[in-house]
């Protein structure tokens, strides 16, 4: 199953939040990068994010959260546009952590 989106949202206590131009922006307290919430995807699969990183996809933010099952997870934020090619390859089984 190939999933990239989740309903996990950043812990705003850990980031600076502002709303401009009809988009909601967050500045990561981990990476210092600013991104629009509408322009990113959240990845919880560690093998997937390792493969993305090897492919050159930049991580915009990382934050801890709780899964639907109640266990702790790390959520990785990447640009939707910049990760599209890696996502397509991942879904085809052509981009794997080796």
State how far the Cα of 33 lies from the Cα of 28, in Å rounded to an integer.
5
Please report the pLDDT score of residue 10 as a whole number: 47
- pLDDT tens, position by position, 56-92: 999 999 999 998 999 999 999 999 999 999 999 999 9
Q: What is the pTM of this model?
A: 0.76
Q: Which domain holds residue 21?
A: 12-92
2-12: pLDDT as tens digits: 444 444 444 44
Q: What stretches of 1-98 adopt beta strand conformation (E)?
A: 15-20, 23-28, 34-36, 40-43, 59-66, 72-79
Residue 75 lies inside a defined structural domain of this protein: yes
Residue 16 pLDDT grade (very low, low, confident, very high; cuts 50, 70, 90): low
Domain count, the chain: 1
Helix (H, G, I), strand (E, B) or coil at 36: strand
Does residue 3 form part of some domain? no
Any domain includes 2 = no
- Which SS3 state, helix, strand or coil, does residue 21 take? coil
Mean pLDDT of 40-47: 95
Instruction: For residue 52, tell me if it sits in a domain.
Output: yes
In a domain, 6, yes or no: no
Strand order in the sheet with 34-36: 15-20, 23-28, 34-36
């Amino acid at each position: 199953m190939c999933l990239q989106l989740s309903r996990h949202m950043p812990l705003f206590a850990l980031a600076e939040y502002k709303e401009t131009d009809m988009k909601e922006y967050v500045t990561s307290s981990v990476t210092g990068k600013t991104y629009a919430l509408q322009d990113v995807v959240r990845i919880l699969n560690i093998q997937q994010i390792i493969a993305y990183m090897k492919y050159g996809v930049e991580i915009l933010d990382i934050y801890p959260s709780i899964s639907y099952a109640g266990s702790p997870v790390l959520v990785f934020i990447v640009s939707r546009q910049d990760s599209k090619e890696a996502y397509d390859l991942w879904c085809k089984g052509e981009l794997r952590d080796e």
